Amino acid sequence: MDALETFDVVIAGCGAAGLYTALHLPAATRVLMLSKGPLDHCDSMLAQGGICMLPEPRDYDAFFADTMRAGHFENRPSSVDIMIRGSRPVIEDLVARGVRFARNPDGSLAFTREGAHSRPRICYHDDVTGQEITTHLRAGVRALPHVRIWENAPLEDIVVEEGRCVGAVVSRAGGRVRIAARDVVLATGGIGGLYAHSTNYPELTGDGCRIAVAHGAELEHMDYVQIHPTSLYTGTPGRAFLISESARGEGAVLLDAQGRRFTDELAPRDVVSRAIYDQMKKDGTDYVRLSFAPVPRATILGHFAHIRARCLQEGFDIAREPIPVVPAQHYFMGGVRVDSDSRTSIPHLYAVGETSCNGVHGKNRLASNSLLESLVFARRAARAICGAGNEPARVAPEPTYAQREARRAAQENPKEDAWTPQR
């Protein structure tokens, strides 16, 4: 070990979740943030579609149902509730930090719709929402004198003594640095770098999960991996370019080899991906096509300007012709199991963002819930770190979907012999 340094909190990862955690820690907290590679190489920068928000109280039930249905009812309902109720404060905070969401002529927030949403409830900035949010969060963190950022400094390990996390080991400038810290936050992103075809940066190789489980932390749903239906097919290796689901939300349609629609474009992502794979097999092709013909030209040139520019680099103009698309690995719903305050099963070790599994997404993530979930639970992690409670996570099992429905039926139709499952 070449050196020993001391901080109050170490945050491994400089994406939206890591940055938002840092922004909500007190000014007296000495914080070190680690970026495995270049600072721009975080998947938060790549998020195109947007970030969900509860637009009005009466949408709560539909938003909740959409999230649960997309997750095949394997979500933790309590976590879904926390995310939805925390959405408006997060959006208001982002606006206060300078994030420029699309607006209606009257100045109100404009909402778009994506697959499996029953109504428009997604705030967006053109087709680069993640970049807009992450850039502003990073600027806010850089302005904090109590936060240091180390680029190209991957987390190698955490230090656990007497059952609690007391620091981290970092690779830096060819040496290894041991960091003594009161708390460590894993925000290392997903696992896309382990796949041949992924929309993720190659640096995302599940480091947080690997390190946490080596010290006995609980993992959850490690097989819950989301395949995004539409990445641009080029036939060349490397990171796949995502074609946002909001394109289909605005009217773009999927076509088979004969130019015919073959599926409901606004079904959940796993359903659409499966339909595309089936159609590719039926047609004997390596891709299907996505047509923007039903999308107004003004929307293509405005909302989807960056997608169009990237497609033009590959020789395709979405304003004139259908483009070849193919499913690609996109998101990881599993991860290090955490409670509602992002605590892992190891005291003083937290996990946020795609590294964590707080149960919001279940088996399949609803479109544009990822940024929201990351920010809501990152803020909760920061507040837990500030507080006295640093006990390990003890996540009570949620009632099954059948149990919840039975309870609801009993409440709506009370009978003397009605049985209500106990939690």
What positions carry a catalytic annotation?
269
- What does the DSSP assignment read for 26-56? -TTS-EEEE-SS-TT-SGGGG--S-EE---S
Token code pair at residue 76: 């933790």
- What does the DSSP assignment read for 93-113? HHHHTT----B-TTSSBP-B-
Amino acid at 407: R
Helices (H), 45-126: 60-70, 77-85, 87-96
State residue 326 phi and psi, 5-degree precision. -150, 145
Q: How far apart are CA 166 and CA 183, in angstroms?
A: 7
Nearest to 252 by CA among 8, 261, 128, 168: 261
Contacts of 108 (CB under 8 A, 6+ apart): none
CA distances from residue 172 to 155, 163, 176 in whole angstroms, order as listed: 9, 26, 6
Amino acid at 201: Y
Chain-centre distance of CA 184, in angstroms?
Answer: 20
H or E, element range at 380: helix 370-386
HSE (side-chain half, CA atoms, 13 Å) at 5? 18
CB neighbour class for 48 (10 Å; exposed up to 12, middle 13-18, buried from 19): buried
